[in-house]
Amino acid sequence: MSDWRPTASLEAMRARAGLLSTVRAFFAARGVLEVDTPQLARHGVSDPHIDCIPVAGHGYLQSSPEYHMKRLLAAGSGPIYQTCKAYRNGEAGTRHNPEFTMLEWYRPGFDLDGLISECLALFGELFSNTPSRTYRFRDLFAEVTGLDPLTATDSDLIQCAEQHGAPEGLDKAAAVDYLMATRVEAALPAEQLSVVIDFPGWAAALAQTRLDTDGTEVALRFEIYFRGLELANGYQELTDADEQRRRFEQDNRLRQKHGLNTMDADPYLLDALRHGLPACSGVAIGVERLLMARLNSDRIGDVLTFPGDRA
């Protein structure tokens, strides 16, 4: 007999339906338009840590609706949100499934603080009476590991990661990723919405950067953690087409260095940025993670009807 039954309980399926209607009401009340963008498109993201799933003759399943939503913003959509499926090859585990649900929204005219407030307002409806606290990435990282990720030497950071079980041969950014994922996240209080801001400049992805008081580059990016889960990842968005092109090129150089296929820069996105993306902030939230936090579950399979291994 095959594993034909769903892994989600009826309770979890009802929790998903309830969550989606809470989200719809939340954005309707705030005048944010629900949109729908393609999941199958010619180009995929260039981020070297994301492996897009190619579809012969079509392009890629989208790992996030970001590029298309930015094109809507550039065309003058105003504030928009959507919940959609997103796909990432090889991401499978107790908290990951190669196909998952993303809630993503963009707010023209909002700076990062404005978007963090709105995120916390939504979480307030889902997790009532949960306190929040904000940490600067470098302070939090230093408190847990004893090293400032922006000023410590590469070898100190790599050695620290290896002492805590990291594989050999990591570069500085990967060592910081390792320590963040295995030590720092684990040290955050579970019953608190922990907002982490000011990520290192090299982890900016599509966020703007600024110089910290000591001249080091930090990203205008935040993450929110709750019950040991990373729930949200937000940016004050990059709007400069030339800088976007440079990041595409930088991503592809990294991809080549690590023996990965390169990804063509998406000309539609670049043209939209050239036309003009309004100053805005945007955030992506893993809907399954939200449900896991709601149901106090530690397995993504509890909130998916059929996870990848039985879909």
Partner 1 sequence: MASYSTSEFKSGLKVMLDGDPCAIIENEFVKPGKGQAFSRVKLRNLKTGKVWERTFKSGDSLEGADVLDVQMQYIFSDGEFWHFMDTDTFEQKQADEAAVGDAKQWLKEEDMCEVTLYNGEPLNVNPPNFVELEIVETDPGLKGDTAGTGGKPATLSTGAVIRVPLFVQEGEIAKVDTRTGEYAGRIKN
> For 267, what's the count of Cα atoms within 13 Å in the CB-facing half-sphere?
1
Please, which residue, 31 or 165, has the CB nearer to partner 1?
165
Q: Which residues bind partner 1 (CB under 8 A)?
A: 47, 49, 90-96, 165-167, 169-170, 173-174, 176-178, 180-182, 185, 203, 205, 223, 230, 233
Please, which residue, 31 or 169, has the CB nearer to partner 1?
169
Please, which residue, 47 or 302, has the CB nearer to partner 1?
47
> Residue 117, class by beta-carbon neighbours within 10 Å (0-12 exposed, 13-18 middle, 19+ buried)?
exposed
Antiparallel, parallel or unpaired: β 229-236 and 40-41: unpaired
- Which 8-state DSSP code applies to residue 180? I
CB of 31 to partner 1, least distance (A): 29
CB of 165 to partner 1, least distance (A): 5
Instruction: Give the integer Cα–Cα distance in Å for 143 and 120.
Output: 24
CB of 105 to partner 1, least distance (A): 17
User: Which residue, among 144, 165, 167, 145, has the nearest Cα to 157 in the 3D structure?
Assistant: 145
Please, which residue, 69 or 179, has the CB nearer to partner 1?
179
Neighbours of 3 (CB within 10 A): 10
Q: Which stretches of 167-255 are assigned E, i.e. beta strand? A: 193-200, 209-211, 217-226, 229-236
- Which 8-state DSSP code applies to residue 309? G
CB of 94 to partner 1, least distance (A): 6
Please, which residue, 142 or 203, has the CB nearer to partner 1?
203
CB of 230 to partner 1, least distance (A): 6
Task: Output the DSSP codes for 272-306.
Answer: HHHHHPPSEEEEEEEHHHHHHHHHT-S-GGGT-SS
Please, which residue, 27 or 235, has the CB nearer to partner 1?
235
Please, which residue, 27 or 199, has the CB nearer to partner 1?
199
CB of 211 to partner 1, least distance (A): 21
CB of 185 to partner 1, least distance (A): 7
Instruction: Read off φ and ψ for residue 30, nearest 5 degrees.
Output: -100, 5
Instruction: Give the integer Cα–Cα distance in Å for 186 and 164.
Output: 13
